[in-house]
């Protein structure tokens, strides 16, 4: 087993979120400030002590950079700042690394999402939702497919998965219905009052065959943030700390977003294996898996990587599905995304998966609480932008 300078040395000591909604009546900047203030207050760290700030420069939508948050909240002792690639766990991962390296003592990591007119047809009628101008094409390949309407390779990936392995839409349905059912118990979830049955899922029109709108996370207004410090400093703070076991992100080749990213999802396997290598754990050491579900088909690929069942996600999902409760329990014991995931809680690009891990490990998850939860696997993102971590109760 590798020795690791991060393991048990870094802690998450505060979490905070804005209201999550289809229309919060506030700007994307205000949402970020709502989350950051809430996280700092939750941590008990004095505002003046915050010296690290990390956001996300999103590929699909602009968001706010650390300078904006610093200016808006009077955080003027920042000695380390950063804008990570998405997904949300990546800004958290960057903060963990910065604290472990001593680049800063108390890092706030945030992400703010907004229902811009670029992602929501309804938003085009709202003059307050006009996205900042400027296309973002970091792989430089988008012009090659724009005449085709920039077709989404992730959908083609699931098409191929069905062809190769006999995977079916109802397998995705188990993921979607599981997450939506958990969201019913999460008061901040956008789908808190919107139950969904498997029959309703199967009857949904296919807007991008083989996927329906229920397979895609909905654009919302919402921001989330965490405060990170060393485990040692965390002991002096009032709240319960959650320790970092390991964090990673991975690029395993074949990563062009439009041409290759959907090929084998080897990046997911590389990332998961890295987490196991760093900790000596395996999937059965986890008490909860918060699996990224920006698209349900991505969750299916993450499940294959996490449970090491390439091509057999369908069978694993069938074995883990309880039709009576409409929920998944892997290996008879491990629930998935008890906050509802992106599909149930709303699209903060996987930040909710980190937040829920912290709540569960603090014992603060209310009716969703997993008794005695000690370790949570969090996965986030696509190929080649992803992040994952293992957190444990402190």
Partner 1 sequence: MTCRDGRAARNACDRTVLRGRPFVTNNEPSRIDHDTQAYWEGLRARKLTLARCGDCQHWIHPPKACCPVCWSDNIGHEQPSGDATLFSYLVQPIAPGAPPSVVGWAELVEQPRLIVVAEIVGATAETVCIGARLHLEWVGDGPHFQPVFRQEATS
153 binds partner 1 (CB under 8 A): yes
52 within 8 A of 81, measured Cβ to Cβ = yes
User: Please, what is the minimum distance in Å from the beta carbon of residue 58 to partner 1?
Assistant: 20
Q: Residue 44, by phi and psi: left (phi above 0), alpha (psi -120 to 50) or beta?
A: left
91 CB-near residues (< 8 Å, 6+ apart): 54, 55, 56, 82, 84, 109, 110, 111
Piece of 44-52, 123-131, 149-157, 178-186 that binds partner 1 (CB under 8 A)? 149-157
User: Please, what is the minimum distance in Å from the beta carbon of residue 256 to partner 1?
Assistant: 6
Residue numbers 24-83 binding partner 1 by CB under 8 A: none
Residue whose CB is less far from partner 1, 145 or 370: 145
User: Please, what is the minimum distance in Å from the beta carbon of residue 210 to partner 1?
Assistant: 8
Which of 127, 133, 147, 193 forms a contact with partner 1 (CB under 8 A)? 147
Residue whose CB is less far from partner 1, 133 or 324: 133
Which of 22, 160, 240, 315 forms a contact with partner 1 (CB under 8 A)? 160
122 binds partner 1 (CB under 8 A): no
Residue 199 CA, distance from chain mean position: 27
393, containing H or E segment: strand 386-393
Residue numbers 262-291 binding partner 1 by CB under 8 A: 262-263
Q: Please work out the total of residues on this chain that contact partner 1, with binding judged by CB under 8 A.
A: 33
Q: Taking Cα atoms as reference points, which of 11, 276, 261 lies closest to residue 157?
A: 261
Burial class (CB in 10 A: 0-12, 13-18, 19+), 372: exposed
Which of 44, 67, 151, 311 forms a contact with partner 1 (CB under 8 A)? 151
Piece of 44-52, 89-97, 154-162, 170-178 that binds partner 1 (CB under 8 A)? 154-162
144 binds partner 1 (CB under 8 A): yes
Residue whose CB is less far from partner 1, 19 or 254: 254
311 binds partner 1 (CB under 8 A): no
134 CB-near residues (< 8 Å, 6+ apart): 62
Residue numbers 331-360 binding partner 1 by CB under 8 A: none
Separation between Cα atoms, residue 23 and residue 178, nearest integer Å: 25
208 binds partner 1 (CB under 8 A): yes
Measured in degrees and rounded to the nearest 5, phi and psi for residue 180 equal -65, -35
139 binds partner 1 (CB under 8 A): yes
Q: Taking Cα atoms as reference points, which of 21, 328, 381 lies closest to residue 182?
A: 328
Residue 241, helix vs strand vs coil: coil
Question: Beta-carbon neighbour count of residue 168 at 10 Å?
Answer: 14
32 within 8 A of 62, measured Cβ to Cβ = no
User: Please, what is the minimum distance in Å from the beta carbon of residue 154 to partner 1?
Assistant: 9
Hey, which residues does 288 pair with through a beta bridge? 376
Which of 137, 232, 236, 284 forms a contact with partner 1 (CB under 8 A)? 137
Separation between Cα atoms, residue 289 and residue 394, nearest integer Å: 18
237-266 mask for partner 1 (x: CB under 8 A)? -----------------x-x-xxx-xx---
312 within 8 A of 304, measured Cβ to Cβ = yes
User: Please, what is the minimum distance in Å from the beta carbon of residue 80 to partner 1?
Assistant: 32
Q: Which tokens hold the place of 264?
A: 């084998």
Which of 49, 83, 103, 150 forms a contact with partner 1 (CB under 8 A)? 150
Separation between Cα atoms, residue 360 and residue 391, nearest integer Å: 10
Give the interface with partner 1 as residue ranges (CB under 8 A): 135, 137, 139-153, 155-157, 159-160, 163, 207-209, 254, 256, 258-260, 262-263
């Amino acid at each position: 087993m590798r020795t690791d300078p991060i393991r048990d040395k870094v802690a998450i000591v505060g979490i905070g979120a804005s209201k999550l909604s289809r229309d919060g009546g506030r700007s994307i900047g205000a949402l970020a400030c709502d989350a950051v203030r809430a996280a700092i207050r939750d941590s008990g760290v004095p505002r003046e002590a915050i010296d690290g700030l990390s956001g996300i420069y999103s590929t699909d939508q602009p968001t706010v950079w650390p300078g904006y948050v610093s200016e808006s909240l009077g955080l003027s002792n920042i000695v380390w700042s950063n804008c990570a690639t998405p997904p949300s766990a990546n800004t958290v991962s960057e903060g963990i690394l910065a604290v472990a390296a001593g680049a800063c003592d108390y890092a706030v990591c945030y992400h703010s999402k907004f229902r811009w007119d670029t992602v929501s047809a309804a938003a085009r009628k709202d003059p307050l939702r006009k996205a900042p101008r400027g296309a973002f094409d970091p792989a430089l390949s988008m012009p090659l497919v724009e005449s085709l309407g920039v077709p989404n390779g992730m959908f083609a990936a699931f098409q191929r998965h069905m062809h190769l392995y006999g995977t079916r839409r109802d397998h995705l349905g188990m993921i979607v219905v599981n997450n939506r059912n958990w969201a019913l118990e999460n008061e901040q979830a956008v789908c808190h009052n919107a139950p969904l049955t498997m029959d309703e899922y199967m009857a949904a029109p296919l807007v991008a065959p083989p996927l329906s709108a229920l397979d895609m996370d909905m654009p919302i207004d919402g921001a989330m943030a965490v405060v990170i410090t060393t485990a040692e400093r965390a002991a002096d703070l009032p709240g319960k700390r959650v320790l970092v076991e390991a964090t990673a992100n991975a690029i395993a080749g074949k990563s062009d977003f439009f041409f290759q990213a959907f090929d084998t999802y080897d990046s997911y396997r590389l990332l998961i294996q890295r987490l196991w290598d760093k900790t000596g754990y395996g999937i059965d050491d986890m008490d909860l898996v918060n699996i990224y579900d920006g698209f349900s088909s991505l969750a299916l690929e993450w499940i294959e990587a996490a449970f090491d069942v390439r091509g057999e996600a369908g069978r694993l999902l069938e074995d883990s599905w309880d039709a009576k409760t409409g929920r998944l329990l892997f290996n008879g014991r491990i629930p998935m995304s008890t906050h509802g995931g992106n599909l149930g809680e709303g699209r903060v690009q996987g930040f909710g998966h980190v937040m829920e891990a912290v709540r569960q490990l603090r014992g603060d998850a209310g009716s969703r609480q997993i008794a005695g939860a000690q370790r949570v696997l969090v996965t986030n993102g696509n190929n080649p932008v992803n992040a994952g971590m293992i957190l444990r109760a402190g």
